[in-house]
Chain A
Amino acid sequence: MSDAIQVKQLRKEFKSVSSRSGLKGAFRDLLTRNYKIVPAVNDINFTVKKGEMVAYIGENGAGKSTTIKMLTGILEPTAGEITVNGMNPHKEREKFTQTIGVVFGQRSQLWWDIAVQESFRLLKKVYKVSDEQYNDHMEHVIKTLDIGPLLDKPVRKLSLGQRMRCELAAALIHNPPLLFLDEPTIGLDVLVKMKIREFLKEINKKYNTTILLTTHDLGDIEALCERVIMLDEGQIIYDGELQSLKDNWAEEKQVHFQFIEPVELHELQSLPLPFTANWVYDEKHQTYMAMMKEESDHISQLVSAVVSHFKIKDVKIHETSIEEIVRNIYEEGTV
């Protein structure tokens, strides 16, 4: 068993009510209602190996959270097979949940009006963690996440960043081999984000914890995950390495030039180059931008051609950021 998660032909349909329009329609809705079957997750397949950190991304409503809820045993799939940690999550829920940790960024699993340590104490009992295991493991977690001083405060008195760190600790009380994080860094400031990322990396290294996370923060992905699964309208549109996603989509490089003397756009366009470069004038920054395919020594050829004809003040080479890549993919809908 080297696979932590196996998903085959997974499908989840929701029945949604479509209201008729107008007053007459509203009366008719009293008697009979129109239902539409909407697939939220549409026959997806993937596997996650033990110890992997995988980012599960997609636009709002792409079906990410629905998948997570099926993988954690909350929802029953309409069709398809799921094996997580060697079990069927929904059928063997009580036994299965012992082996996973879950953080929902938008929901708290701590008791609102009671001190954090009381929640921990209850969860320790719920997961049947012995005092030894607890002290051994949680002491470290509490220290790394720096939540020691927060433990005796009621949850409602904590800031979002403080609460999220406590949530993460709560999900790790039983030291699960598999961790699901549904938007764990939503709404957090950079420092807390960094702390959480560092911590996740550390537990992955230390315990070989498998982590599946959904996020809209591409910084999370870049910091943590080598593999990305991208979802759109309930279907997987990309499953592979983050690097190759970058390589395939970041084919264009942008080189920004700032000149000492005014230069006309057509002068630049008539530069002798063995390849095509698109020149654009950026009025806001008063710079010219060359967009071109990134191949062999094109950049050096371009720069040397420009430098030999004009006096330049500044050169910037801009690589397509992962945000732009993802935005492009979302816009086109395929990889």
Chain B
Amino acid sequence: MGKYLAMIRMRFLMMLAYRTDYYTGILIYSINIGAYYFLWNAIYGDKSSIEGLSSMQMTTYVAVAWMARAFYFNNIDREIANEIKDGKVAIEMIRPYNYLGMKTMQGLGEGIFRFFFFSIPGMLLVAFIFPIELPHEPATWGIFGISLLFSFIINTQINLLTGITTFFLYNNAGLIRAKRVIIDLFSGLLLPISFYPIWAQEVMKYLPFQGISYVPSMIFTNGYSSGDIGMALLQQLIWVIILIIPIQLLWIVAKKQLIIQGG
């Protein structure tokens, strides 16, 4: 366990070494939240609610969805791809640890860093500028926390899957980009799932993506009834378990396939 904690610490140090990334990140997220705030304001106009969400809830949804993204989002798929492309994966394989486990820990290190130094101050800032509604009950905060952890795991698992495909494709920059757009779109980050047409909602029920953004954001905005919350969390948990299977299978094949590029 010590080595995994050490890796989280290492990622903290790396995040601190890249200060510019940190500052530009804050700027980009603020612009996004601001833009969506004005967009939704225009859409709502003088309507009090759309698809069961009030305009206040919508603003909160946008703000929390982006702040949650700061926690669950990571680039470990691209990191895996780069390590394979330049042969650095060889170095990872001579160390007594599980490569995917370590990558997950690096993602977690990044997530924790941004949660404390980005999401929380960001949320305070946003709450100050825009009218948003924070949950009153401590229980909601707790459930939101659990849900957010699940969304991190699901997103990381999908990233691992995308990353491992580099072992077979050698260059999967296109796939990585496509995955990113799909997640932003189908996870409910850009548009709450309840705004999609019924048939699309039906399809998305059977996909893991809404567990990434829609579920925690809905919990935070009190958009769920108490029965729905349990179902949503269960759904997240099921996806966490299901996604382990293809990752392990692909990993076994990938290790056999491995070619160290560049000598």
Is B145 at the interface (CB under 8 A from chain A)? no
Q: Assuming the A-B contacts A69-B260, A107-B88, A114-B13, are A94 and B98 also in contact, with contact meaning beta carbons closer than 8 angstroms in the complex?
A: yes
Q: Assuming the A-B contacts A113-B17, A114-B17, are A128 and B2 also in contact, with contact meaning beta carbons closer than 8 angstroms in the complex?
A: yes
Complex Cα gap A90–B252 (Å): 12
Is B263 at the interface (CB under 8 A from chain A)? yes
Task: Please tell me the number of chain A residues within 8 Å of chain B, measured between CB atoms.
Answer: 34
Which residues from 280 to 335 on chain A have a C-beta closer than 8 Å to any C-beta of chain B?
none
Q: Is the CB of B6 within 8 A of A125?
A: yes
B81 to chain A, nearest CB (A): 17
Q: Is the CB of B6 within 8 A of A75?
A: no
Q: Mark A80-100, 1 if CB is under 8 A from B, else 0.
A: 000000000010011111101
Q: Assuming the A-B contacts A122-B6, A128-B2, are A97 and B96 also in contact, with contact meaning beta carbons closer than 8 angstroms in the complex?
A: yes
Q: Is the CB of B91 within 8 A of A113?
A: no
Q: Is the CB of A74 within 8 A of B18?
A: no
Residues of B within 8 A of A14 (CB): 259
Is A257 at the interface (CB under 8 A from chain B)? no
Q: Is the CB of A74 within 8 A of B2?
A: no
Complex Cα gap A106–B197 (Å): 54
Is A126 at the interface (CB under 8 A from chain B)? yes
Residues of B within 8 A of A98 (CB): 96
Complex Cα gap A267–B13 (Å): 78
Nearest B residue to A118, CB-CB: B13
Residues of A within 8 A of B255 (CB): 76, 90
Q: Is the CB of B10 within 8 A of A111?
A: yes
Is A207 at the interface (CB under 8 A from chain B)? no
Q: Mark B1-38, 1 if CB is under 8 A from A, else 0.
A: 01101110110011001100000000000000000000
Nearest A residue to B4, CB-CB: A125
Find B87's partner among A102, A107, A128 (CB 8 Å cutoff).
A107
Residues of A within 8 A of B93 (CB): 72-74, 93, 97
Q: Assuming the A-B contacts A69-B90, A107-B88, A125-B3, are A97 and B17 also in contact, with contact meaning beta carbons closer than 8 angstroms in the complex?
A: no
Q: How many CB-defined contacts (below 8 Å) exist between A and B?
A: 76
Is A144 at the interface (CB under 8 A from chain B)? no
Complex Cα gap A126–B91 (Å): 13
Is B136 at the interface (CB under 8 A from chain A)? no
B5 to chain A, nearest CB (A): 8
Complex Cα gap A110–B91 (Å): 10
Q: Is the CB of A104 within 8 A of B90?
A: yes
Residues of A within 8 A of B94 (CB): 72-74, 97, 100, 102, 109
Is A127 at the interface (CB under 8 A from chain B)? yes
Complex Cα gap A113–B7 (Å): 15
Q: Is the CB of B96 within 8 A of A94?
A: yes
Q: Is the CB of B90 within 8 A of A122?
A: no
Is B47 at the interface (CB under 8 A from chain A)? no
Which residues from 217 to 259 on chain B have a C-beta closer than 8 Å to any C-beta of chain A?
255-256, 258-259
Which among B2, B90, B259, B262 has the greatest number of chain A C-beta atoms within 10 A? B90
Residues of chain A at the chain B interface (Cβ within 8 Å): 14, 65, 69, 72-76, 90, 93-98, 100, 102, 104, 106-109, 111, 113-114, 118, 121-123, 125-128, 154
User: A75-B260, A94-B97, A114-B13 are known contacts; what are 4 more A-B pairs with Cβ within 8 Å?
Assistant: A74-B94, A106-B263, A111-B14, A128-B3
Q: What are 19 pairs between A and B in contact, CB < 8 Å?
A: A65-B263, A69-B90, A73-B93, A74-B90, A74-B94, A75-B258, A94-B97, A97-B95, A106-B263, A107-B90, A111-B10, A113-B17, A113-B18, A122-B3, A122-B9, A122-B10, A125-B6, A126-B6, A128-B3
Pick the 7 closest A-B CB pairs, nearest first.
A125-B6, A113-B17, A74-B93, A97-B96, A98-B96, A126-B3, A102-B94
